[in-house]
């Protein structure tokens, strides 16, 4: 796990600017506190900041192969041992999991990524062939951003690094801003930074003379509609797939643990880790010190005890949130206004005292159909069905100066792309979430909040073997009797009944709306006077919102405004946090 950046120049004889590479390295230092490597030759400059996880001694990057190509990578190739065994003639210089992709490039060219099982963003420069490749894993677990500049094609693990290096000016894309306000993340390849694009999940691009000249894309999900399989066969297949995935995701030369909530996804990860590990699993759970808040600590405590896990609980207080919210939001440069960034950031900070790797349950809801919106999407419109995210956060509140009429266009494009031959309504909804919500909200949250503390997050559900075992299941093995994730619940009832998989769950929420309402007298003038908020909403309307009981929708709208004000201050105006949330908003 690392941070990578660089530039492929249009002039193949020119050397990249050293100051630009220095700035990229500084901006990504938090992602790789264990070292730095560079590849600087005419036509290209690559920078890598390393978080050492596998091959602590000889795994420094860049990596080189006999043909002269160089590689830098952010991520983990979990099947690296199997890849090495399948290349008996290759001469490996290290034990790094990222060296096999370099040899695969020499044999397979741009198709090298089809052999990889893992999470990754990879850059390869082949000086002899005067070309380069950039590649991202199929689920988009690891981020990679590109920008076309006058000098050539720049890339980085985080868009803020491209801005910090002066390669791109911090200009706002208004369409993406509207997406963020209405649905808490942005869709597709375009980012909220004008001129910076995401490499799409599963995409590999070929670069020549500083320009992208070809693209290919590897899908995350298997093709085809629901298959014919009975429950017993499906459970057996899922058990084998999850066991293999968790075993691979535990490959590490440093200590690891896991994040445990009160839900089924993390309970399944814990159960499998407990099966595979001879020592107690180290599990971390967050809870909130707020009256009436949904607190999963008790359920997680019981689950951890049943698994024999070493369980660490973290109580997050309102004061902690106000003290650290500016730096939490500052870490989310590609903005995802998901209030789960709060516990994830604090859990990452706590876990870093013990481990460098944590396993987490992201992806379970998407692959096994856990969300209530899926059950609605399964029904035709005349039976009450509706498309996902039909209404945005501010559709219910007359607050914005200009209604965001096209905010759903990116999501509609994802829905159209997901509507492939044979797929059921449920599969289309799942595939839509896997295309945008998953990489651009949940995985950004996990990546930025953990890398802020130099911790690697791993997601065993987001594995090709698990996807093959789960995505094409019959709808009835995913959703039954009004509940999602039926197969996972059934698996837990057999293998780890202490998780109480069919019990009614409290649901995970962060009491941010309650906390904002309790501080409304302080927030109202600060947000109403904020220049970024004034561009999108009338100050008197913002103040009025915060002076009345917020309720569910008002609370989420208030949180979205607070997040956006802090994000804009840091990433558009370039101002660092200036104390707690109140001091930061007051600073001009």
Model confidence over 331-351: pLDDT tens digits?
999 999 999 999 999 999 999
Q: Are the C-beta atoms of residues 406 and 178 closer than 8 Å to each other? A: yes
Model confidence over 415-439: pLDDT tens digits?
999 999 999 999 999 999 999 999 9
Strand 69-77, strand 63-64: pairing? antiparallel
pLDDT (0 to 100) of residue 26: 97
pLDDT band at 118 (very low <50, low <70, confident <90, very high): very high
187 backbone φψ class: left, alpha, beta (φ>0; ψ -120 to 50): beta
pLDDT, residue 511, reads 93
Q: Which CATH class is domain 2-217?
A: alpha beta
Of 260-264, 446-450, 551-555, highest mean pLDDT: 446-450
**pLDDT given at position 384:** 64
pLDDT in tens, 187-236: 999 999 999 999 999 999 999 999 999 999 999 999 999 999 999 999 99
Give the HSE-up count for residue 120: Cα atoms under 13 Å, Cβ half-sphere. Answer: 28
**Mode of pairing for the β-strands spanning 256-259 and 357-359:** parallel
Indicate the range of 19-33, 146-160, 501-515 predicted with least confidence: 501-515
Nearest C-alpha neighbor of 258 from the set 286, 289, 230? 286
Residue keyed to tokens 């930025």? 448
Q: Mind listing the pLDDT tens digit for each residue in 471-494?
A: 999 999 999 988 999 999 999 999
Q: What is the pLDDT of residues 165-189, one digit of tens each?
A: 999 999 999 999 999 999 999 999 9
DSSP structure string for 9-24: ESSTTPPPPHHHHHHH
Does residue 330 register a pLDDT over 90?
yes
CA-to-CA distance for 526 and 449, rounded, in angstroms?
26
Q: Would the pLDDT of 272 be above 70?
A: yes
pLDDT digits (tens, 9 = 90+) for 499-530: 999 987 666 688 999 999 999 999 999 999 99
Given CA atoms 181, 184, 187, 192 in this order, what sign does their dihedral have?
positive
Distance of alpha carbon 298 from alpha carbon 262, whole angstroms: 8
Instruction: Judge whether 2 counts as a catalytic residue.
Output: yes
pLDDT value, residue 386: 77
Give pLDDT tens digits for 447-461.
999 999 999 999 999
Q: What does the pLDDT look like over 54-79, one tens digit per residue?
A: 988 888 999 999 889 999 999 999 99
Portion of the chain with pLDDT greater than 70, in percent = 98
Write down the pLDDT at residue 55: 83
Nearest-angstrom CA–CA distance, 243 and 63:
31
For CA atoms 226, 229, 232, 234, the dihedral sign is negative
The Cα 555–Cα 514 span in angstroms is 7
Catalytic residue among 2, 98, 434, 449: 2
SS (H, E, C) 232-288: HHHHHHHHHHHHHHHHHHCCCCCCEEEECCCCHHHHHHHHHHHHHCCCCCEEEEEEE
Residue boundaries of the structural domains of the chain: 2-217, 231-499, 512-586
Report if pTM > 0.95. Answer: yes
Q: What is the pLDDT of residues 275-301, one digit of tens each?
A: 999 999 999 999 998 876 778 899 999
pLDDT band at residue 398 using 50, 70 and 90 as cut-offs = confident
Which of 434-463 are b and which e, b meaning 16 or more Cβ less than 10 Å from the residue's Cβ?
Answer: bbbbbbbbbbbbbbbbbbbbbbbbbbbbbb
pLDDT at position 495: 97
Nearest CA among 40, 47, 44 for reference residue 72: 47
Determine the Cα–Cα distance for residues 35 and 586; give it in Å rounded to an integer: 37
Separation of alpha carbons 22 and 167, rounded Å? 12
Return the bridge partners of 3, or none. 49
State the chain's mean pLDDT as an integer.
95
> What tokens were used for 176?
């993406």
Residue 559: predicted pLDDT: 97
Beginning with the edge strand found earlier in the chain, give each strand of the sheet holding 118-126 in spatial order. 63-64, 69-77, 118-126, 131-136, 203-208, 211-217
Q: Which of 565, 481, 471 is nearest to 523 (CA)?
A: 565
Tell which residue, 577, 466, 484, has the closest CA to residue 237.
466
Q: What is the mean pLDDT of residues 126-146?
A: 97
441 pLDDT more than 80? yes
The architecture in CATH of the region 231-499 reads 3-Layer(aba) Sandwich (3.40)
pLDDT exceeding 90 applies to what percent of the chain? 88
């Amino acid at each position: 796990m690392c941070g990578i950046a660089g530039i492929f120049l249009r002039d193949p004889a020119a050397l990249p600017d050293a100051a630009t590479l220095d700035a990229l390295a500084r901006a990504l230092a938090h992602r790789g506190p264990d070292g730095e490597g560079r590849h600087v030759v005419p036509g290209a400059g690559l920078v890598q900041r390393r978080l050492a996880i596998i091959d602590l001694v000889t795994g420094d990057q860049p990596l080189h192969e006999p043909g002269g190509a160089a590689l830098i990578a952010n991520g983990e190739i979990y099947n690296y041992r199997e890849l090495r065994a399948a290349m008996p003639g290759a001469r490996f210089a290290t034990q790094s999991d990222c060296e096999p992709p370099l040899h695969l490039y020499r044999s397979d060219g741009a198709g090298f990524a089809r052999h990889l099982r893992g999470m990754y963003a990879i850059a390869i420069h082949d000086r002899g062939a005067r070309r380069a490749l950039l590649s991202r894993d199929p689920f988009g677990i690891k981020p990679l951003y590109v920008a076309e500049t006058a000098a050539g094609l720049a890339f980085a693990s985080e868009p803020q690094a491209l801005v910090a290096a002066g390669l791109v000016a911090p200009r706002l894309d208004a369409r993406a801003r509207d997406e963020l306000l209405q649905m808490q993340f942005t869709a597709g390849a375009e980012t909220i930074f004008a001129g910076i694009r995401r490499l799409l999940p599963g995409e590999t691009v070929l670069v020549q003379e500083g320009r992208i000249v070809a693209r290919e894309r590897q899908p995350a999900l298997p093709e085809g509609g629901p298959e014919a399989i009975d429950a017993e066969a499906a459970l057996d297949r899922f058990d084998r797939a999850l066991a293999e995935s968790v075993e691979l995701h535990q490959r590490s030369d440093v200590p690891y643990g896991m994040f445990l909530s009160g839900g089924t996804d993390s309970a399944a990860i814990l159960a499998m880790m407990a099966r595979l590990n001879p020592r107690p699993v180290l599990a971390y759970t967050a809870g909130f010190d707020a009256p009436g808040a949904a607190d999963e600590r008790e359920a997680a405590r019981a689950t951890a005890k049943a698994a024999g896990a070493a369980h660490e609980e973290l109580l997050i207080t309102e004061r902690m949130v106000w003290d650290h919210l500016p730096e939490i939001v500052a870490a989310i440069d590609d903005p995802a206004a998901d209030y789960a960034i709060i516990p994830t950031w604090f859990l990452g900070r706590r876990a870093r005292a013990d481990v460098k790797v944590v396993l987490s349950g992201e992806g379970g809801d998407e692959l096994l159909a856990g969300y209530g919106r899926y059950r609605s999407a399964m029904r035709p419109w005349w039976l009450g069905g509706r498309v996902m995210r039909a209404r945005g956060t501010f559709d219910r509140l007359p607050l914005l100066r200009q209604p965001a009429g096209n905010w759903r266009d990116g999501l509609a494009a994802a829905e159209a792309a997901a509507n492939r031959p044979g797929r059921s309504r449920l599969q289309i909804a799942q595939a839509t979430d896997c295309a945008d919500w998953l990489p651009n909200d949940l995985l950004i949250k996990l990546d930025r909040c953990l890398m802020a503390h130099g911790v690697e997050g791993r997601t065993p559900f987001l594995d090709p073997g698990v996807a093959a075992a789960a995505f094409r299941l019959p709808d009835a093995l995913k959703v039954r009797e009004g509940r999602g994730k039926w197969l996972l619940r059934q698996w837990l009832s057999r293998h780890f009944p202490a998780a109480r998989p069919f019990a009614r769950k409290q649901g995970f929420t962060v009491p941010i709306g309650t906390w904002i309402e309790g501080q409304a007298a302080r927030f109202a003038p600060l947000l109403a006077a904020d220049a970024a908020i004034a561009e999108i909403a009338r100050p008197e309307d913002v103040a009025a919102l915060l002076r009345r009981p917020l309720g569910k929708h008002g609370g989420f709208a208030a949180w979205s405004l607070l997040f956006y004000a802090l994000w804009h201050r840091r990433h558009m105006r370039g101002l660092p946090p200036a104390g707690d949330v109140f001091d930061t908003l007051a600073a001009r």
